[in-house]
Amino acid sequence: MKIRYSFEAIEDLQRVVEFVEIKNPFAARRTAIDLQEGVEKLKQFPKIGLPILKAPEPELIRDLYITNYTVRYLITDDIIYILRVWHNKENEKNL
């Protein structure tokens, strides 16, 4: 499986890392690494995340929880699309 990021997910990652970096550059780097390593696991275990029951096809759209962050993704035949990324204290409806 290949991993592809949506434009919104890339913006989300930048926003998250920049927010943490203001207070703690080391933590920002650790956050970026943790998220990247977690997403990489999807290549071998694409269904590791929890299904989004309110989605039209819950088995295909899932949430992966990595430390304090949620990664929403879509599974297709050969590509996993990272749709959004947010801190669990954020409201996903505001993204």
15 is a domain residue: yes
95 is a domain residue: no
Spatial distance between the Cα atoms of 31 and 94, rounded to a whole number of angstroms: 21
94 is a domain residue: no
Domain total of the chain:
1
**What is the pLDDT at residue 94?**
58
66 is a domain residue: yes
**What is the pLDDT at residue 91?**
66
By residue range, what is the domain housing residue 50?
2-89
**Distance of CA 7 to CAs 11, 20, 44, 47, 73, Å?**
6, 20, 24, 22, 13
73 is a domain residue: yes
pLDDT per residue as tens, the chain (95 positions): 899 999 999 999 999 999 899 999 999 999 999 999 999 999 999 999 999 999 988 899 999 999 999 999 999 999 999 999 999 887 665 55
Instruction: List the CATH number of the domain containing 30.
Output: 3.30.2310.20
78 is a domain residue: yes
82 is a domain residue: yes
